[in-house]
């Protein structure tokens, strides 16, 4: 199996937003992301990269086309999702307070987790599911 050339992360989640410029502002304010790159024409974001620690989120505006034809937004399917983004934070309590103050809808209460760490689940301003927690799977013991 061939791995990617030297890079920070080999998986980068991608999301689409109807109002991508507003989502970028909100994700930075509510969750602590930082803009790495944003390519846009007016209100249409063709591609954006937001970073958090050594992780990255790519996002863009909802648009027709080959990729968009295969995706739906959470509000089109009753708020359900088939995947979510998990982000490792050093202080889940402080992060939850920040996200809640910015209007994130908490869907799983902040709590200690059986597998370790502390975390919570929430929805962003367009309904995408997120998990923020202090459990770091890179530091956890691996199964035999």
Using pLDDT thresholds of 50, 70 and 90, give the confidence band for residue 2.
low
**CATH assignment of the domain containing 97:** 3.10.180.10
Which domain does 20 fall in, by range?
A: 14-133
- pTM as predicted: 0.91
Q: Note the pLDDT tens digit of each residue in 113-136.
A: 999 999 999 999 999 999 999 999
Q: How many structural domains does the chain have?
A: 1
Counting other chains too, the contacts that 81-86 makes at CB distance below 8 Å and 24 or more residues apart are 81/128, 81/129, 83/13, 84/121, 84/128, 84/129, 84/130, 84/131, 85/13, 85/15, 85/57, 85/128, 85/129, 85/130, 85/131, 86/130, 86/131, 86/132, 86/133
């Amino acid at each position: 199996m061939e791995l990617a050339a030297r890079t920070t992360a080999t998986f980068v989640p991608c999301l689409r937003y109807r109002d991508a410029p507003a989502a970028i502002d909100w994700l930075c304010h509510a969750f602590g992301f930082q803009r790495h790159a944003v390519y846009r024409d007016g209100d249409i974001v063709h591609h954006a990269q937001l970073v958090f620690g050594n992780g990255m989120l790519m996002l863009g505006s909802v648009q027709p086309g080959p990729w968009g034809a295969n995706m739906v937004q959470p509000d089109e399917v009753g708020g359900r999702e088939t995947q979510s983004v998990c982000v490792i934070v050093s202080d889940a309590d402080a992060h939850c307070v920040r996200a809640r103050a910015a209007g994130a809808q908490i869907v799983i209460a902040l709590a200690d987790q059986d597998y370790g760490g502390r975390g919570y689940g929430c929805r962003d301003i367009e309904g995408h599911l997120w998990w923020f927690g202090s459990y770091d799977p890179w530091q956890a013991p691996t199964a035999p």
